[in-house]
Amino acid sequence: MTQWQIISEHIGQATGRPFNPLEPRHVGGGCINTGVRLTDGERTYFVKLNTASLLEMFEAEADGLRELADTRTIRVPEPLGCGLGDGQSYLVMEYIDMGQGGRGGSELAGRQLAEMHRRSQSRFGWFRDNTIGSTPQQNQTSDDWVDFWRERRLGFQLRLAERKGYGGTLQRRGERLMEHLQLLIDHQPEPSLLHGDLWGGNLAYANDGDPVIFDPAVYYGDREADLAMTELFGGFGNRFYDAYRESWPLAPGYSTRKILYNLYHILNHLNLFGGGYLGQASSMIDRLLAEV
């Protein structure tokens, strides 16, 4: 069977209706996966493709979408499942036609995100590891958020950066920063359900105006980590943030903690895309060390 025959059979089994697609159409799938729009003229699905070795990445993404959807707060694409076909891994999910958010879209997104963050569990982390971009993301659970952030987030990215040749000053300053995390994370967050990779490219609006988030890197952590990333590459606008804070105000000190939380993503970009992010990572570490 060809790849598309296998995927079509998967869709048919998942939905209980035979699916005979027209010609697949490639669409934007980001810089990591190939994205394909698959339709039979009546039903349409979005398919992500990658190498066979990355099936587990898709399985974790599907689990993350289900975890987010289970909150019944902000909309996510429904996953139909994953598999292997013709030497590639695939993830099939609901195709959502996107439009504009309208005047109230960003406020609704802020309120719905705050409500999603109210989903909690007893420990930080998640029941499985996943990926942030294409980088492994460790989610072994912990009772202590500072330890989790030190070991599973900053420490992991710094060790990876050292293996990639970014040692020296970055490592020395990074290790010093990790010794003082308790001074920077000076509040008591509860383990909130996080999208985990919530930059502007992972929020859109369906044709009916509903906010939609996708491409998650799910775990339970400080909700400020999600909110911080929304500000990393341009921000979501004042209406979004006002609506979020009205729904669930932030503790004092967020303006410093957001630098700490976004450092994780800048270190990940350093590890994924190279030395163009080294100066930014170093500058963020220096700003944080100046606070302690």
Model pLDDT for residues 21-77, shown as the tens digit of each residue: 988 898 875 678 999 999 999 999 999 999 999 999 999 999 999 999 999 999 999
Provide, rounded to the nearest whole percent, the portion of the chain with pLDDT above 90. 90
> Which of the 8 DSSP states describes residue 202?
G
Q: For the chain, what is the radius of gyration of the CA atoms?
A: 20
217's CB contacts (< 8 A; 6+ apart) are 64, 130, 131, 132, 137, 195, 196, 197
Polymer length of the chain? 292
In the structure, what pLDDT confidence band is assigned to residue 99 with cuts at 50, 70 and 90? confident
Q: In the chain, what are the domains?
A: 3-94 (3.30.200.20), 120-237+251-291 (3.90.1200.10)
> What is the largest distance, in Å, between two alpha-carbon atoms of the chain?
62
Average per-residue pLDDT for the chain? 95
Does 129 score more than 90 pLDDT?
Answer: yes
228's CB contacts (< 8 A; 6+ apart) are 254, 257, 258, 259, 261, 262
* CA gap 173, 155 in Å, rounded: 12
Average pLDDT on 140-169 reads: 97
- 242 flagged as catalytic: no
* CA gap 203, 164 in Å, rounded: 31
Instruction: Note the pLDDT of residue 167.
Output: 87
* CA gap 238, 251 in Å, rounded: 18
Q: Using an 8 Å Cβ cutoff, are 90 and 47 in contact?
A: yes
pTM above 0.75, yes or no: yes
Among candidate residues 63, 129, 197, 222, the one labeled active-site is: 197
In terms of Cα–Cα distance, which of 186, 195, 171 is closest to 267?
171
